[in-house]
Amino acid sequence: MDEIMVLAEHRGGELRDITFEMLTMANKLGKKNDLAVTALFLGNEASDLSERLKGACDAILLMEDSELANYSADQYIMAMETVIKTRNPTLTLIGHTAMGMDLAPAMATRLSLPLATDCLEINLAERRLDVLRQIYGGKINARLAMKPSDKYLITLRPGSFDAEAEQGKSADVQTVPAPSWTNLRGRQFLGYLEAELEDVDIAAADILVSIGRGIGKPENIPLAQEFADSIGATLSCSRPVADEEWLPKSRQVGTSGKTVRPKIYIALGISGAYQHQVGMKNADTIIAVNTDPKAPIFTIAHYGIVEDMFQVLSLLTEKFAKK
Ligand SMILES: Cc1cc2nc3c(=O)[nH]c(=O)nc-3n(C[C@H](O)[C@H](O)[C@H](O)COP(=O)(O)OP(=O)(O)OC[C@H]3O[C@@H](n4cnc5c(N)ncnc54)[C@H](O)[C@@H]3O)c2cc1C
């Protein structure tokens, strides 16, 4: 069928932003290529939630079953296989999230679909698809042409598109039957584990001083803390700093940490890998200090300083601590 199908992602009764980001992208492509945009919603007792997609697509396919109440790879694969085989969408979009990373490669193998993951852009013209992906930790953008096919599967990087819930559409909800689960392999959803209570809530801070691997060793952290104190900021970090347990996990910014939106975000010795950027790129003002002028953080920083962070720290601390 001439359509782009978007797998809606939801958790705990909430739609995730990536769903609307994918729908925004799908609508752009659909308009250019005369393709309808369909949202596939897998869930249980979820008709109210699925209706929130109405303004952003041409049709909503709702499959409800107790097996689909929470994400589980085996159930989702079987459900999607049924729908894709019946409808033959030209393009299927899945979020490049923990769920999508688990699901998409298995789907591609099962249905022999060409797959490109973690895409930042998609262009479709005359059924030929090319995508933009990043390589070498975000230092190089690679545009790739996919082998011609009548069907493609793509995962889209979260945060690459605006999430527009209203796109002037008014979709009908169509119910689709769940498959029979006789061939389920045996994995079962048991429950979500809530993160432990945290020392500070970095998401509530107006100013964040964030340190990355460039801090070098835990003995240097007091230097960053002193600067943060001098300007009334909270200390946060990139993942390696949390992984080394130099700061608690609750201070980590990024896809597997917190999403923050402070007034000022000062990134010290952070390269700006996309997993980090996703968590902080919406800060009002981003200031980056890095010795590498090609560090990806400079692509989103409003102010950049190519310099040793310790030099900058001592100058700034001296200036602000005096006030
Ligand atoms: C599934 C998954 C989830 C992830 N989730 C997250 C996440 O939530 N948050 C996150 O941050 N990362 C996450 N990552 C890791 C991410 O890919 C990067 O590896 C990480 O962000 C890099 O951290 P960094 O910038 O501190 O370190 P590096 O990439 O090693 O960068 C260190 C930077 O410091 C600079 N530097 C070194 N010395 C100095 C100095 N003296 N002065 C100034 N600059 C200096 C270097 O030039 C370099 O750019 C995730 C990865 C995966 C695969």
Say if residues 23 and 55 touch (Cβ distance below 8 Å). Answer: no
- What DSSP assignment string belongs to 77-112? HHHHHHHHHHH--SEEEEESSHHHHHHHHHHHHHHT
Q: How far is the CA of 152 from the centre of ligand 1 (A)?
A: 32
Provide the whole-model pTM: 0.74
Amino acid identity of residue 283, one-letter, is A
Per-residue pLDDT, 198: 67
pLDDT 10s digits, 161-198: 778 888 889 999 999 999 999 878 778 888 888 766 66
CB of residue 214 inside a 6 A radius of ligand 1: yes
Q: How far is the CA of 323 from the centre of ligand 1 (A)?
A: 32
Q: How far is the CA of 241 from the centre of ligand 1 (A)?
A: 9
Return d(Cα 50, Cα 40) in angstroms, integer. Answer: 9
Say if residues 174 and 73 touch (Cβ distance below 8 Å). Answer: no
Residues of the chain with pLDDT under 70: 1, 137-139, 195-198, 322-323
CB of residue 238 inside a 6 A radius of ligand 1: yes
Return d(Cα 110, Cα 72) in angstroms, integer. Answer: 16
Per-residue pLDDT, 276: 94
Say if residues 267 and 227 touch (Cβ distance below 8 Å). Answer: no
CB of residue 97 inside a 6 A radius of ligand 1: no
Question: 208 in helix, strand or coil?
Answer: strand
